[in-house]
Amino acid sequence: MGKSYTQYVCQQCGRINPKFLGRCPSCGGYGTMVEEIIQDLPVSKIITSSSGQKLHPSEPTRMNAIDMKNEQRIDTGIAELTQVLGGGIVPGSVILIGGDPGIGKSTLLLQTAIKIAERGTVLYVSGEESEHQIKMRASRIQDFSKGDSKIPEELYLLTETDMDSILDQTQKINPQFLIIDSIQTVQLSELNSTAGSISQVRECAGRLRELAKNRGITVFLIGHVTKEGMIAGPRVLEHIVDTVLYLEGDRFQSLRLLRSVKNRYGPTSEVGVFEMIERGLVEVSNPSEVFLAERMVNAPGSAIVVTMEGTRPILVEIQGLTNITPFGNPRRTPVGIDINRLFLITAVITRRLGVRLSEQDVFVNVVGGLKISEPAADLSIAAAIVSSVKNQPIRADCVLIGEIGLSGEIRGVSKTSARLKEAAKLGFTTAVIPHALRRNETFPSGMQVIEARSLREAIQTVLLPPIKEE
């Protein structure tokens, strides 16, 4: 038995200190330093094959000698998830899915397990539910009592929190896919710390990554998130895995957005859209139609933007509302966009258009719960605000795309052709875009493309006559 010593680890940033501190010097968190007893151990066990041979390569390999003919992505059976992963699952990859409690992480992975178990062996490990509870959820998702639907024979369930036992059972079954629900519930017995601590999460994730790379097993991990919406603990877990997905949405609404924030084998910021119903998550193949389904035509303060989520163009309604404030400091309340972006846009509207907002509360909402971070939505946000102030609706058949500069100019954005093609599919016949894009882009036939050099020019083009107050 080796020597042991005590250290204190911050559960937010991972800082290690030999003595207890009430406040972490790195992240400033109070009460986040947790005691951990570290035992000097021999070199960690190396995962071996059934014959007992080492699976680690002992010599360097020439890159041109590696055979890639049999390396193909695996379809998940869920089109939206396959798209977010960049076209399918890469064998031997480690995929982390995070999200708020009750948002549908376990439901999504259980549905995925049922689908891929029809073509390969899946081991679903839960540290939070029993086998009977998991089967109860599976029966709700898919009615196995029907003659054409049955439980896949290659879907195995395991209720376990000890990492060594999980690795032993994995080597016995030798599945193609391993699902851990969740990484914060499993632990290594040789570490003298509780499950979910930084050392436990780091070491358990490291063992699972070693398993994935050496045996070619795809590992799915479910991760808890903090109140700020980040994966619990420091970002060490996100650095270990190959892909990080976030399942977003309001628990009181049916839409769920699966967003890729890290992907070593595909595009980042890709988004898949699902709808939560009684039997689980259902794919939404055309999210633009869903986001615009309840739109009120010719309503002041409503503008349409085509935003790019990864490689996917999505039409979204942006609503703006202004109201005279009874207080000295007017409010700026954004939902779905960055508040600093809203400050910038309102300042440009005031200085370049002469629209006084100093006595107006300004509210901006991205309908459907989508969060937009790209500057291509600037023009539609500004148009929605001005439309509300003047009580003049925006043309119903028009989309607005462009970034706003501090001088009031409209700057170019990427992938304009793809955006306009998506707008044309949904019946929009007019688009306002930056002037500089005409030289390099090809646009859909039959669509009127209006080039605007400035915010003033764009607003004058799209506003309709004022609505009479009743």
- Tell me the DSSP string of 37-101: EEE--PSPPPPB-TT--B-S--S---GGG---TT---B--S-HHHHHHTTSSBPTT-EEEEEE-T
Say whether 105 counts as a known binding-site residue. yes
Compute the distance between CA of residue 25 and CA of residue 10 in angstroms, rounded to an integer: 10
Which two tokens mark 338? Answer: 């960055």
Residue 107, CB-side half-sphere exposure with 13 Å CA sphere: 23
Say whether 103 counts as a known binding-site residue. yes
Q: Are 222 and 180 in contact (CB under 8 A)?
A: yes
Q: Taking Cα atoms as reference points, which of 210, 190, 208 lies closest to residue 199?
A: 190
Q: 290-462: what fold?
A: Ribosomal Protein S5; domain 2 (3.30.230)
Residues of the chain with pLDDT below 70 are 1-2, 39-58, 143-149, 226-235, 437-440, 468-470
DSSP conformational letter for 465: P
CATH number 1.10.15.40 is the correct assignment for the domain at 75-285 = no
Compute the distance between CA of residue 306 and CA of residue 432 in angstroms, rounded to an integer: 11
Say whether 106 counts as a known binding-site residue. yes
Say whether 104 counts as a known binding-site residue. yes
> Which pLDDT score is estimated for 36?
80
> Which pLDDT score is estimated for 423?
96
User: Counting runs of H as helices and runs of E as strands, what totals does the chain give?
Assistant: 11, 21
Q: What residues does each domain of the chain span? A: 1-40, 75-285, 290-462
* Distances, alpha carbon 50 to alpha carbons 53, 58, 155, in Å: 8, 18, 22
Q: Please, what is the average pLDDT of the chain?
A: 88
Cβ neighbours, 10 Å, residue 350: 14
Q: Are 454 and 404 in contact (CB under 8 A)?
A: no
Same fold, 75-285 and 290-462: no
Partners of 17 in the β-ladder: 8
